[in-house]
Structure 1
Amino acid sequence: MSDDDFSLFQSALHGVKPLRQDDRADTGAPQRDHRQIASRRQAAMQPVEVQKVDGLSDQFVIDVAAEDDLHWARDGVQEGQMRKLRAGQITFEGSLDLHGMTVEKARETLWGFLAEATRLEVRCVRVTHGKAARLDGRRPMVKSHVNTWLRQHPQVLGFASCLPRHGGTGAVYVLLKRTMLDGRDE
């Protein structure tokens, strides 16, 4: 390096202070708050009360009468399967009775029952919702809610009111999806 280069370099650095070992350059990025980070990590490790969200909405309940015949099928379900279901020709392998339950208890019980039936690869179940005529003259609560909830449940392919010997309009046969362990799912 020539003397001219060195003097040019010195003049360019005029007014610049050298950094001390513990100084850090200001990059413009916000400083980390290490206490806040430690507090967040600690909070993330604490068990949190689990809020169960089942996806069954009561936003719009389809009001049905005590003697209304219920039936519904998801798009793509073969009409022949639904005919067999309505005729009671698909054997139900599990049954749930929701009589006397509050709407909230019925929802929780139904969700757990359908989860267990799905886990066990059950094809068809019966859900007895009842058809209680209410003193206030309004429609049956649990029956109306079950009618709405089953349409929302991801594992339900379809449902139909039972034959009289299995509960008639106070119960439904429910056709469930399978994960195809036993072969093709209709």
Structure 2
Amino acid sequence: MSKSDSTFSKSQLDLLKQFKKQISTGQPQPGSTNKKQKSVPVTTPLPQDDDLALFNQAMQGVKTIDNGNLAKIATNHARKKPDAKTLAKRAAAEGPIETEHAELSDTHAMLNPVASQASLSYRIATLQHKVFEDLKAGNIRWYEAVDLHGCTIEEARSAVLEIIQIAKNENQNVIKIVHGKGPEAILKSYVNSWLRQHRDVLAFVSAPEKQGGTGAVLVLLKRAEKNPKFNQDQ
């Protein structure tokens, strides 16, 4: 189509060429309006210092709780061995023990001393052999122990009677008594004698090497319910 045949005026042709140029270049058409797209806010993580600052700001006015009146919880549940002299003082304060204190004679100990390295062994005739062997091997867990080192003979006697009474009150039947094995083995001889006379003792034997060896004895007691002096609640 020639310019002479065109029904468009020159101005219209110029406008048409301008439209074609704009379409080919991607430019906006005249008179058109570009709508701005809404920008989406992008959340950027706060720096660590800003987090700390916000935390400190939030904690303003908060007071530390006073822990002074809180009960302390012991983490170590291991049983502490009672002190022999403390037991002796306790026995003296409580008065005569309701056991065979008067029956525990020292004559046997004086007439039958034992050597410092001797192994002690005693059992009543009716005790089962297996129970005695378990006691000897240290297979029966002992409930409480007392160390008589540094005690006088009277203090040692009171401590032995007291710890037996404590075990009976707790319905426990195995205790350990550390008597030592000095050159003359005086306390060892007396412990050997006292335990043989005590009516609640079923057996005793020198401890295994790892539990004191010949310097200690493991003592098997009657259970409280089998003791005629035990008063059961009705």
TM-score by length of 2: 0.52
Who is 2:138 aligned against?
88
In the alignment, what sits opposite 1:35? none
1:136-175 to 2 correspondences below 5 Å: 139-175=184-220
Work out whether 1:57 is the aligned partner of 2:105.
yes
Q: Does 1:117 align with 2:167?
A: yes
1:111-154: CA deviations, max 9, x gaps? Answer: 11101111111121110000011xxxxx3110000000001111
| Amino acid of the structure 2 residue aligned with 1:178 | R
| Higher RCO (CA < 8 A, seq sep 6+) | 1
Residues 44-83 of structure 1, C-alpha deviations (whole Å, 9 max, x = no match): xxxxxx6666021112213100100001001211111110
Q: Deviations over 1:83-134 (max 9, x none)?
A: 000000101111111011111110011111101111111121110000011x
Aligned equivalents of 1:141, 1:90: Cα separation in 2: 27
Q: Summarize the Cα distance change of 1:51–1:171 in structure 2 as closer, same or farther, 3 Å threshold.
A: closer
* Runs of 4+, deviation exceeding 3 Å: 50-53
Give the secondary-structure state (helix, strand or coil) at the position aligned to 2:133.
helix
Q: Secondary structure at the match of 1:95?
A: strand
Corresponding residue SS for 2:108: coil
Give the AA of the match of 2:212.
Answer: G
SS in 2 for 1:72: strand
Alignment-mate amino acid for residue 59 of structure 1: T
**Largest Rg, 1 or 2:** 2
How far 1:179 moved relative to its partner? 2.7
Letter in 1 for 2:115: A
Length, aligned pairs only: 127
Task: Report if aligned partners of 2:104, 2:198 keep a CA contact under 8 Å in 1.
Answer: yes
Unmatched 5+ residue regions in structure 1? 1-49, 134-138, 182-186
Change (3 A) 1:51 1:128: closer
Question: Quick check: 1:75 aligned with 2:125?
Answer: yes
* TM-score using structure 1 length: 0.65
Amino acid at match of 2:194: W
In structure 2, the CA distance between the partners of 1:104 and 1:90, relative to structure 1 (3 Å rule), is: same
Percent identity between matched residues is 37
Provide the alpha-carbon RMSD of the alignment: 1.6
